[in-house]
Amino acid sequence: MTLRPYRSVLYIPGGRARALEKARSMPVDSIIFDLEDAVALEEKASARATLVAHLLEGGYGPRSQIIRINGLDTPWAAEDIAAIAEVRPEAVLLPKVDHAEMISELGAVMGRYDGFENTQIWAMMETPRGILKAAEIADAPRMGGMVMGTNDLAKDLNTRFDPTRAPLLAALSHCVLAAKAAGIVIVDGVYNAFKDEAGLQVEAAQGRDMGFDGKTLIHPAQVAIANRVFAPSDAEIDLSERQIAAFEAATAEGLGVAVVDGKIVENLHIETARATLAKAAMIAKLEGQA
């Protein structure tokens, strides 16, 4: 699984110079620089040039840099790929992935250019067919992550809005299973009402409890909540430390289990506890570098 946190993954339009500048100081774990939905058709070329210029200038610190290109069936994808090669992004995000062959096709195109040697491919999971093929997509070569496109998915499924996301839970869970089985990152979809902090808190917590690594965001005002929700809490860190200490003491006495707060602690709980502490340490390091 990932060696870095992806609590907050903020979409930034690729053609907006001011937003690209501000993103350099935002406390986000990752940025999706968007050349697809956030860019008008007549601005595709100029947005691409603006984005490349800003990324080459640098200044984004430890933040993960992911570029969402236009779909392979569009007239802009080939130029997107050619232009961003020199940027050497961590990942290229492909929209509307229906099957694993689309990942292979993108990988083949990327292979024609120097600069993508260490670049992962991420997939937007936003179509019914893509959801059904999630396991095959997750296992495709170069895959590093999945991003839920819940708005497009809800449109294609013809669902009605439900604050509990009940109509989408099967699709969300299916993709989490696929990502975890493949050992790749998976981040939850956006919360559209960016001024509704209480609603975002509830939905982010739901995603965290389902197993998502973080949440995609559409506005800087959402960053703090996502960072807090997807980080280990003080109580979780304290419990993890006590579990590890108790288990090590029990092991030293030749016992296979320990008891903490009246509950059995076995090796599987220690693996979770160590992962919790490792994530907390990574977050502290990232925030110290930002």
* Alpha carbon distance 9, 218 (integer Å): 9
What local confidence, expressed as pLDDT, does residue 268 receive? 96
pLDDT recorded at residue 255: 95
User: Please, what is the end-to-end C-alpha distance for the chain in angstroms?
Assistant: 23
Do 17 and 39 contact (CB within 8 A), yes or no?
A: no
Sorted by where each begins, the domain ranges of the chain are: 8-229, 234-289
135-171 per-position pLDDT tens digit: 999 999 999 999 999 999 999 999 999 999 999 999 9
Mind listing the pLDDT tens digit for each residue in 73-86?
999 999 999 999 99
Cα separation, 45 vs 47, whole angstroms: 5
* CA dist 152 → 108, 126, 148 (Å): 27, 6, 9
Q: Is the pLDDT of residue 1 over 50?
A: no
Separation CA 125–CA 122 (nearest Å): 9
For residue range 226-280, what is the model confidence (pLDDT) as tens digits?
999 999 999 999 999 999 999 999 999 999 999 999 999 999 999 999 999 999 9
Provide the pLDDT for residue 287: 86
- For the stretch 26-70, pLDDT in tens is 999 999 999 999 999 999 999 999 999 999 999 999 999 999 999
What is the SS3 assignment for 93? strand
CATH of domain 8-229: 3.20.20.60
Quote the strand ranges of the chain, DSSP E. 8-13, 30-34, 64-68, 91-94, 120-125, 143-148, 185-188, 214-217, 258-260, 263-265
- Specify the pTM: 0.95
